[in-house]
A and B are shown apart, each in its own frame.
Chain A
Amino acid sequence: MHAEEKHIVEFNVLFKVLIALFVLTGVTVLAGNIDLGYFNVVVALLIATAKASLVVFFFMHLKYEGGLFKIMVLLAFVILAIFIGFTFFDVAFRAN
């Protein structure tokens, strides 16, 4: 129980995560220079989400937490997605 409660994340794991975050930052800047039309936003958000996941799972230790924490975090993001997505029922179909 205690070992699970107080998991120690090793220095080298954190360092690898940082390197990955730096690389992804580079990728997203480069991708911003290529014109993919509407897909630029999609690519940028996918990379941002990959980076955010690294932060949440390793820096914020979510990978080592119990299922409760994972479900709660998921719930928060689902609700946010609903708030943004459902607003588009209006704005995407608005007759100008």
Chain B
Amino acid sequence: MNSSESKTLSFWEDDGRFSGIFSWIFTTDHKRIGLLYLYSVLSLFAVGVVIGLLMRLELIAPGSTIVGAQTYNAFFTVHGVVMIFLFVIPSIPASLGNLFLPMQLGAEDVAFPRINLLSWWLYIIGLILILISLFTGQGAPDTGWTFYVPFSEYTTTNVNVAVIGVFILGFSSILTGLNFITTIHRMRIPGMKWTKIPLFGWALYATGWIQVLATPILGITVLLIFIERTMGVGLFDPAKGGDPVLYQHLFWIYSHPAVYIMVVPAMGVVTEIIPVFARKHIFGYKAIALSSLGIAFAGSLVWAHHMFTSGMSDTAVMIFSFLTFIVAIPSAVKVFNWVATLYKGSIVLEPPLLYALAFIFLFSIGGLTGLVVGAAGTDIHVHDTYFVVGHFHYTIFGGTVFGMFGGLHYWFPKIYGKMYNKRVATTAWGILFIGFNVLYFPMLVLGIMGMPRRYFDYLPEYQLGHVVSTVGSWIVAVGLILMFYNLYRGIKNGEPAGKNPWNAATLEWTTLSPPPKLNFIEEPELTRGPYEYKGIEDDAQYQ
């Protein structure tokens, strides 16, 4: 084929060296890797959702409803491990980040395309190990996703394989972060100063640093679990001089920053969406960029707020409680800037914006309830109750996942070159938003009433809350099915979308939809800032 043909061929058709499925699983094209990740994480999301639905069904009435206690323990462990390590952590950076970061920078790929592919392969290997841990040995892990000692050292369930899987997943995440940091440093098109980088890029930059600096601690922590189980060194065993609380320190040194690996990219997506649909320059570009770095840094200081009731020193409880409130500052900076961007904008209520608005609302509830658990005094009351479960689902599902759905609806036309049915998308969003609150708000109430988390049974006075919550889970399921069905229909029979259906200003919208293999036909030129909408021509193909 001649070169001009190959240049306009979209990345879907341009197979490169291999053909068939090998042109996907051995690709070094960041867009194909992004899609591999997208389909992988969404499949795992489906698995996690099904287990979540089963858990809610079990909890519809006190006592054993559909499963026994041990199965329920496996359920919440697997739900947590799958959702955290296999879905949420890779979700936005590895899928949407891979797809759009290089394009937003005007680059033709990430800095290390082969390491990018390796990162997906490691993800698949980790995934396989975790699946093996479910179905072999003496049963699925029952420790919760946190693998707390001493139970994780002594349970006979298949923890060994699972922690090695988590170790490998950690490396996959590190390689993504390493790649993105280098890409942002080295691959920007000429003229793109640091203050011209789209804020999604800034979010991924901050996330990359957390991935690089915090994830290794998780690596060594789960490795130590493995070593303790196989060799009995005793580092966390009081009988041998160890200190189990130190396990919790190590675990949360990673896992608290990890919640910012989860949510900062979603904030980046929301920051991209809001100015486009408010037709206004983002309010406070530098404040938002710096607040991403600020969250990343402050998030590394506060891990021990997960341990207020673990027997830490009172001094540590007070210091970490105080430090926790610092994280609220950069988070609030973002929320205020988003709202200020919307203020007096000419708002177009398209599906991506609806998801972004839902993000702001749900994440604000998540963040404010976070202050309740971050304050040592109130935490003593709600620790390990459904309040905490409600809180982190508001931040992670309401935050990260709604952000990801918003990003999917925003970039969908760029990925597939087609548009989904916007009316159905709006309906699905409404169902999801209502279902979400019906599902999780009762958990906040249940928690304050004293319902402990991770229990498969409960006292009759908690039943009303549980029934409402379970009904909410069904509404969410309907919303998810409708949303994905609508997107699937869009891929199959959607209207052609054109280059720039949203009239956005970042570079990925200047190329074809779907983009060619090397992203741009001509070397792109940076003619405007990422949020300067003046003079953007209406896309002729799609209104």
Contact = CB atoms under 8 A, between A and B. Distances in A.
B314 interface: yes
B185 A68 contact: yes
A89 B249 contact: no
Interface stretch (B37-45, B258-266, B315-323, B449-457): B315-323
B313 A93 contact: yes
A83 B313 contact: no
B313 A94 contact: yes
A contact patch SS: helix
Contacts of B303: 86
A89 B304 contact: yes
Interface string B239-250: 000010110010
Interface in B198-214: 209, 213
Contacts of B132: none
Nearest to A79: B213
B301 A90 contact: no
A76 B300 CA distance: 12
A82 B300 contact: yes
A91 B213 CA distance: 23
A86 B313 contact: no
B253 interface: yes
Nearest to A80: B213
Contacts of A33: none
A79 B211 CA distance: 13
Nearest to A83: B253
B322 to A, nearest CB: 11
Contacts of A68: 185
B25 interface: no
Interface string B295-317: 00000110110010000111110
Contacts of B245: 90
A90 B253 contact: no
Nearest to A76: B213
Contact of A90 (B213, B300, B313): B313
Given A68-B185, A76-B213, A79-B213, A86 B304 contact: yes
A12 interface: no
Contacts of A29: none
A91 B242 CA distance: 13
Residue from the set A86, A87, A93, A94 with the largest chain B CB neighbour count within 10 Å: A86
Contacts of A30: none
Interface string A39-77: 000000000000000000000000000001000000110
A15 to B, nearest CB: 33
Contact of A83 (B185, B217, B319, B320): B217
Given A68-B185, A83-B217, A93 B304 contact: no
A93 B317 CA distance: 10
A92 B217 CA distance: 21
Nearest to B248: A90
A95 interface: yes
A91 B182 CA distance: 37
B314 A93 contact: yes
Contact of B315 (A75, A82, A83, A93): A93
B85 to A, nearest CB: 21
A31 to B, nearest CB: 28
Contact of B312 (A76, A82, A94): A94
A86 B312 CA distance: 12
Contacts of A86: 301, 303-304, 319-320
A87 B315 contact: no
Interface in B393-411: none
Contacts of A87: 246, 249, 253
A79 B185 contact: no
A13 B301 CA distance: 40
A90 B304 contact: yes
Nearest to B315: A93
B469 to A, nearest CB: 35
A82 B301 contact: yes
Contacts of A93: 313-316
A89 B313 contact: yes
B301 A89 contact: no
B316 A90 contact: yes
A90 B307 CA distance: 10
Interface of A: 68, 75-76, 79, 82-83, 86-87, 89-95
Given A82-B301, A90-B316, 12 more contacts: A68-B185, A75-B213, A79-B300, A83-B253, A86-B320, A87-B246, A90-B245, A90-B307, A91-B246, A93-B314, A93-B316, A95-B314
6 contacts: A75-B209, A75-B213, A76-B213, A79-B300, A86-B304, A89-B304
Which 6 pairs from chain A and chain B are nearest by CB?
Answer: A93-B313, A93-B315, A90-B316, A89-B316, A94-B313, A90-B312
